[in-house]
Amino acid sequence: TNALCANVGTKSQEPVSLTQTDCEILGFAVLLHDIAKPLTLTVSDRIRFNEHDQIGARMAVEILERLKRPRVVCDGVFDLVRRHMHFANLPNMRVAKLRRFLQEESFPLHLTLHRYDCLSSHRMLDRYDWGLEAWQKELATPPNPRHS
């Protein structure tokens, strides 16, 4: 998993340091994020994998629990797998919802999982680039004193 974590944040202005636990979470999420696709495959107007993110998150936790991984790893992987399809709607999110997502401590992991997912399939990084730019802007935005 160290190789997966080696270039997190390298395109950004802000250094991102990931713990060993973060790297383990990211590694398992990369490996397991599409695990439910075979179970959810449907063919209608096109091939679809409805709810593969939700079902896959539960499957991933079952696997990690059998491997006796710590709860923090199980929870982190569950979150990444469950929400890995959110990037498709990133530019269309309401501002408040987008800002909450960008401010999450786990956002660099979500961003990196999305990057690896794109690079391993269609190779289009437009949503990744958009998310990285939005995150950089959010990091540079002073906190609202009314919400501190």
Q: How far is CA 104 from CA 42, 59, 80, 115, in A?
A: 33, 24, 12, 17
| pLDDT digits 0-9 by tens, 2-49 | 555 655 544 444 446 788 999 999 999 999 999 999 999 999 899 988
| pLDDT digits 0-9 by tens, 68-110 | 999 999 999 999 999 999 888 899 999 999 999 999 999 999 9
